[in-house]
Homo-oligomer: A and B are copies of this chain.
Amino acid sequence: MGTVKGQNKKRRVTIKDVALYANVGVGTVSRVLNNSPHVTLETKQKVLAAIRELGYTPNPYARYLSVGTSNLVTVIIPEMKGDFYQMLLSGIDEVLVKHGYSSILYPLYNNRRYEALKKSSELLLSTDGIIVDAVSVDGVLKDLLNHNTPTVCVEQESEMFDSVMVDNYYGGVIVGDYFADLEMEIFVVTHRKSHELESTVFDERLEGFQASLEKKGRNIDKIYYVPLDWESAFEVARRIFSRHKRCAIFTTTDYLAVPIIEVARTVGLNVGKDVRVCGFDDLPIAQVLGITTIKQPIHEMGKIAAEMLIKRIKGKAKDKVAKVILKPELVIRET
């Protein structure tokens, strides 16, 4: 079965081997591989048999080189904890799949992964398109992104690429308007962008909140900055409730609201009355725990991003950079 040519190194079986084995030209093999209608059933079966016998698998890189398209889209996200990214990605996938594309994920949740991306950026970023959530395309990713490959940004603005985002500042304003009338101390639990891979959305939400409060003659009594994990949020929550039995807390994401509520309830406070909590995002968990929050259309945002990208890929987009800004809204629940 096919003379091994001299060396005993395993040589990959190629389309040529198949052609030889099936007694046809490589073009014909390629045609059955690509389901071309212009092949006799007979030859087709001959080729298929050869493929099976030889255990042939096509080399996609060669194909790509030839046709110049991978049907792959790279999605870059800053981390993968929580429900947010799964929701976003499912929106993206919904439209991508419809157009025959698949997505690969690249979470940039620490510096090591950033370094790895830089090293292998070429292959990872040479897909047909790129969607970047939160991680700054005009900043850290600037030198990695190729201006010629279609790119769209989510949760951030960009001078170079299309973008879709929720008006985070405005979301903060809504919460401020809501909290301003409450006769209690006002705290914020948020995450401050601490290194360049992180998102700025939390800061924007905080700014809007602050501005709205000021306008109404109130101010934030204290801001607690925490890393984006529950361990830290739990600690802060314990600290808060050991001193304060009555307060309103704005957590700039529902993710951080969960521990706050857990601790408040554990120490016996009446959440919704003595303690008021407002989150952001409207993650599934917010519905379960009855968290008052700012709803943003995550799934929708993913769909829009993918649609913008497809447009760019197909060359149907305008030259000008497009920008879609979605409005968030307040959802009042028990907390």
Contact = CB atoms under 8 A, between A and B. Distances in A.
Interface of A: 10, 12, 55, 57-65, 68, 70-72, 79-83, 85-86, 89-90, 93-94, 96-97, 100, 102-107, 109-110, 112-113, 115-117, 119-120, 122-124, 126, 146-148, 229-231, 234, 259, 262, 265-266, 284-285, 287-289
B64 A120 contact: no
A94 to B, nearest CB: 7
A59 B117 contact: no
A102 B106 CA distance: 10
A41 B81 CA distance: 47
Given A65-B61, A86-B80, A146-B57, A124 B112 contact: no
A195 to B, nearest CB: 16
A105 B105 contact: yes
B97 A116 contact: yes
Closest A-B pairs by Cβ, 7 of them: A102-B120, A102-B116, A60-B122, A60-B123, A61-B64, A105-B105, A80-B80
B61 A90 contact: no
A94 B116 CA distance: 10
A60 B119 CA distance: 12
